Amino acid sequence: MSASSKDRFDRDGYVVARGLFGAAEAGRLRAHFMTLRRSGSYPDDLVGVQPRSRDPLRRYPRMAQMHRWDAATLRWLLDERVRDRLTALLGAEPYAVQSMLYFKPPGSRGQALHQDNFYLRAEPGSCVAAWMALDPADEANGCMLVVPGSHRWPILCTRKADTRLSFTDVTVPVPDLHRPVPVRMDPGDVLFFHGSLVHGSSPNATADRFRRALIGHYIHAEARQVAEYYHPALRMDGTPLRLDVSEGGGACGEWAERDGVPTVAMTGRHAVARKHE
């Protein structure tokens, strides 16, 4: 990995590895998950499949923790290309804690802006994600949106999200000065982003294009605890690792103005963190 990728990750909180996986590999994974989704329900599905629902996200709900029962997901989660990039970005090999598949069919809602470590509670350090596009992703079908540099902010206090646009119901406020930017990607490109980076996505406004993504969540090597849902953590050779359980709640940052500049003050408290994102 080039020095400039690490510099960009340190500066912006994210970097895209273009073509890290081949288009054909991405195509095979796309077909694999469509077959799985159409043929049933699985242990960690977050909501059930309702084939006749008007809500596209009920017809194609996202899958989670597939690596616990699907060999193809486990192989991808621990793939040496992902491992090597993460190790170069973080300076040490991380631990894998979650896999997810977002189908995001035409007409479906996006996910409001959030920070992953609000959910994972990896401490000390944070978490990091590898988000691989399985379809071309752009503004029309709801590509990822990221707020460059927001990985340096603490975990912010959440507020209610607009659930007409987002399938999750909480979000974080972002001052006008820090607008989210779209990350356009092709199948096989992987977006790596820090656990405090504010990110999300808009609805898929197309009539006929899915925006599927395969996602791995990892925690930094120095982490000694993570929220219960993410246990067991795996070393990148696949062996499980014992960590402590992080509790919900805790301090959170609120925006305040200092000399006319938005600044985060740790004046808030989260009652309880949600189980998972």
Ligand X SMILES: O=C(O)CCC(=O)C(=O)O
Of residues 37 and 199, the one with the C-beta less far from ligand X = 199
Contact partners, residue 181, CB within 8 Å, separation at least 6: 145, 146, 147, 148
Shortest distance (Å) from residue 218 CB to ligand X: 12
Shortest distance (Å) from residue 61 CB to ligand X: 13
Residues in contact with ligand X by CB under 6 A are 102, 110-111, 116, 129, 131, 199-201, 213, 215, 277
**78 φψ region: left (φ > 0), alpha (ψ -120 to 50), beta (else):** alpha
Shortest distance (Å) from residue 257 CB to ligand X: 28
DSSP-assigned letter for residue 247: P
Sequential DSSP letters for 84-97: HHHHHHHSS--EEE
Of residues 201 and 225, the one with the C-beta less far from ligand X = 201
Shortest distance (Å) from residue 36 CB to ligand X: 18
Of residues 2 and 100, the one with the C-beta less far from ligand X = 100
Find the residue with minimal CB distance to ligand X.
201
Of residues 154 and 259, the one with the C-beta less far from ligand X = 154
First to last CA, the chain: 30
Of residues 198 and 234, the one with the C-beta less far from ligand X = 198
Shortest distance (Å) from residue 132 CB to ligand X: 10
The widest CA-to-CA distance across the chain, in whole angstroms, is 58
3-state secondary structure of 170: strand
CB of 243 closer than 8 Å to CB of 222 = no
